[in-house]
Structure 1
Amino acid sequence: MKVNPTNGSNLNVYKQQLQKQDDTKQTQKTQDKIEISNQAKKLQEGNSLVEARQEKVQNLKQQVQDGNYDIDPKKTAEKMIDFWTNKQV
């Protein structure tokens, strides 16, 4: 069996192909961009629902701190039963 020495030219083809892939990846790099629509910008601005919820939470906190917050046990139990039986309200 005769073994011919390789001059490395056949192996160089693979290196050249890898180099071409790397070059194309580097040239194709683009920067990420984000665009927010006008509707989304309006939603980000002061939302009356958020403000109303914050006000309600503050009122509830104050009632709890003052000891004036009353809980209706029957209503609480009904809500718990509805939740656990997957009943839609």
Structure 2
Amino acid sequence: MKVNPTNQTHLNPYQKQIQQQPAKQPNAQSDKVEISNRAKAMQDNHIQKARDEHVQNVKQQVQDGNYDVDLNKTAEKLASFFRP
């Protein structure tokens, strides 16, 4: 004896909604952000130079064995990070 599953209508309830959605227009405008050349120059130059100098300074201190970590500040930062 063959038992057929019940309540199978073979209809996709979302098919009607998919058909009603408008097709995307290829010429539709999208949001656009532009950064001026002056802003790019400001971002690249002095900030990157300052970071490079600081990193080199810390690297040199670590290699020389002169880099000192303040454990109290580190503990405070960790505590403030994990506290709400």
* TM-score, length of structure 1 as denominator length: 0.49
* 2:63 alignment partner in structure 1: 65
Deviations 1:15-52 (A, max 9, x none): xxxxxxxxxxxxx8xxxxxx955x2x223324312211
* 1:8 alignment partner in structure 2: none
Count of matched residue positions in the alignment of Structure 1 and Structure 2: 53
Q: Which runs of 5+ in 2 are unaligned?
A: 1-25, 27-32
* TM-score, length of structure 2 as denominator length: 0.51
Greater helix proportion: 1
Letter in 2 for 1:43: A
- 1:56 is matched with which residue: 48, 54, 70? 54
Q: Which runs of 5+ in 1 are unaligned?
A: 1-27, 29-34
Runs of 4+ with >3 A deviation:
none
Letter in 2 for 1:80: L
Letter in 2 for 1:81: A
In the TM superposition, what is the alpha-carbon distance from 1:54 to its structure 2 partner? Answer: 1.2
Letter in 1 for 2:65: G
